[in-house]
Structure 1
Amino acid sequence: MSVPALEISGLTKNFGAAKIIRGIDLTVARGERHAIIGPNGAGKSTLFNLITGRFAPSSGSIRLHGEEIGGLAPYEINRRGLSRSFQITNIFPRMTVFENLRCALLWAQGYRYSFWHMVGRQRALNEGAERIMEEINLAARRDVPAGLLSYAEQRALEIGVTIGGGADVIMLDEPTAGMSHSETDYIVDLIRKVTEGRSLVMVEHDMGVVFGLADRISVLVYGQIIATGRPEEVRGNPEVQRAYLGAVLEKEEAAG
């Protein structure tokens, strides 16, 4: 049996007396696109922060490719092959698209803390940045400062930065939040392309995106996963309908 890309067992997180994550078990297979959905306050962001090292678990296990990562620092987890984006776009606005991507590649290509390498002369580094630029459809914006990109282009750049370090498990936190329909379609196509052959875990509120992109979905309510399954299984689950999904779908249908 193949070792899962990500495996969570008995995970809890308490902040004082408040129990935010209450015994989560979750498995993400290699190459799977897995969405985590749930109402506001369900604990989705806390779960993301536990997996990526911003918070240490109160108890339980988080394994990446079979190795325990719970409690490690974010940079240590990143170097083991897991990378994330954030709800708020996190790029260098005064640097160009190319420069942002080149920065993302530095550690993965072995440059570490080096003050004597002229990065402009490093052929492999520059070619890697150019390759990612093509992959995220921003080659035409190569020399544009990131802060001048459209919102959707900035999110695309952040996805490029996320994959730039060579991670094979990608975590995206609300990647289409605040986008128009056309921008959402653009980002969904991009996510589908860049996660081919990688494992994806995403938090997303747009159910059209979730059901169109995810192989499996987990529903998080009050710090517990109440259902996990293929999109059609989750859509038809009576408990999920009562707790969350029915109201969300009705709201989206009313909005057109």
Structure 2
Amino acid sequence: MSTPALELTGLKKSFGKAEIIRGIDLSIGKAERHAVIGPNGAGKSTLFNLITARFAPSAGTVKLHGEDLAGLEPFQINRKGLSRSFQITNIFPAMSVFENVRCALLWSQGYKYSFWNLVNRSRELTEGADRILDQINLLERRNLPAGTLSYAEQRALEIGITIAGGADVIMLDEPTAGMSNTETDYITDLILKVTAGKTLIMVEHDMSVVFGLADRISVLVYGEIIATGKPEEVRADARVQEAYLGAALEAEH
């Protein structure tokens, strides 16, 4: 059996007496598209923050490709091949679309903290940034200030920034939140394209997006995973329907 891309064992997180994550065991395979769903307050964002070391776990382990991530800083985890987006769009609005992506490429291209390299002269950086902009359908917007993009385009840019470092495990936190149906379709198609062959882990409330993208789904309720399986299995699970899915689907109609 191959090593999972991401493996959580006995993962817990408490804030004082409040137990937010209550012992999660989860294995996500390489190149799998995995969605984490659940009601507001279930602990989904806390789980993402534990995986990416923004929070330290109270107990348990997080392994990336078999390597225990305990004690690593978020930037170190990123350099090991795990990258994430956030619920709130994180871009540099005053910089151009191109410059946003180029910044995300610097470390992976070996620039690090080198003050004598003039990035404007690097053909490799320019071509790499333009390839990503082409992937995310923003090449024609490359010279615009990022803050002038539409909301959906800004989310697309953030996805481009997320994949720019070459990570093979991509975590997206509510990538279609606040979008119209047309914008949601645009971002869903984009996610399918840019994460091909990569491991995708996403938190998402739009069930049409979840069932359209995910190979497997985990349902998180009150800090515990109550079900994990293929979309059709999760949809048919009585516990999931009672705890979350029935209400979520009704809310969309």
Q: TM-score, normalised by structure 1?
A: 0.98
Tell me the equivalent position of 1:127. Answer: 127
Compute the displacement of 1:25 (Å).
Answer: 0.5
Query: CA offset at residue 22 of structure 1?
Result: 0.4
The CA deviation at 1:71 is 3.8
Q: Secondary structure at the match of 1:124?
A: helix
Name the residue aligned to 1:164: 164
Q: Deviations over 1:68-127 (max 9, x none)?
A: 113421001000000000000000001111100000000001100011111011111111
Partner of 2:108: 108
Listed as ranges, the matches of 1:1-256 within 5 Å are 1-253=1-253
**Cα distance, 1:183 vs structure 2:** 0.2
Partners of 1:42 and 1:222 within 8 A in 2: yes
Mapped partners of 2:70, 2:148: distance in 1? 37
Deviations 1:53-80 (A, max 9, x none): 1001111010000001134210010000
Range that drifts further, 244-253 or 29-38: 244-253
Aligned-partner residue type, residue 55 of structure 1 = F
Structure 2 counterpart of 1:209, one-letter code:
V
Q: Alignment partner of 1:208: what SS? A: helix
Q: Distance in 2 between matches of 1:2 and 1:173?
A: 27
Alignment length (residue pairs) = 253
Report the 3-state secondary structure (helix = DSSP H, G, I; strand = E; otherwise coil) of the residue aligned with 1:226. strand
Alpha-carbon spacing, 1:71–1:40, altered in 2? closer, same or farther (3 Å): farther
Which consecutive segments of 4 or more residues in structure 1 shift more than 2 A? none
Provide the C-alpha distance between the structure 1 equivalents of 2:70 and 2:39, rounded to a whole number of angstroms.
25
Equivalent residue of 2:113, what SS? coil
For residues 121 and 133 of structure 2, the distance between their equivalents in structure 1, rounded to whole angstroms, comes to: 18
Q: Which runs of 5+ in 1 are unaligned?
A: none
> Is contact 1:55-1:71 (8 Å) kept?
no
**Amino acid of the residue matched to residue 77 of structure 2?**
I
Identity of aligned residues (%): 74
| One-letter amino acid of the counterpart of residue 246, structure 2 | G
State the shift of 1:248 in Å.
1.0
Shift of 1:250: 1.4
SS of alignment partner, residue 36 of structure 1? strand
CA–CA distance in 2 between the matches of 1:197 and 1:10?
Answer: 28
Q: Deviations over 1:137-190 (max 9, x none)?
A: 101101010000000000000000000011000000000000000000000000
Residue-by-residue CA offset, 1:174-219 (whole Å, 9 max, x unaligned): 0000000000000000000000000000000000000011000000
| C-alpha separation in 2, matches of 1:53 and 1:129 | 27
Unaligned 5+ segments in structure 2 are: none
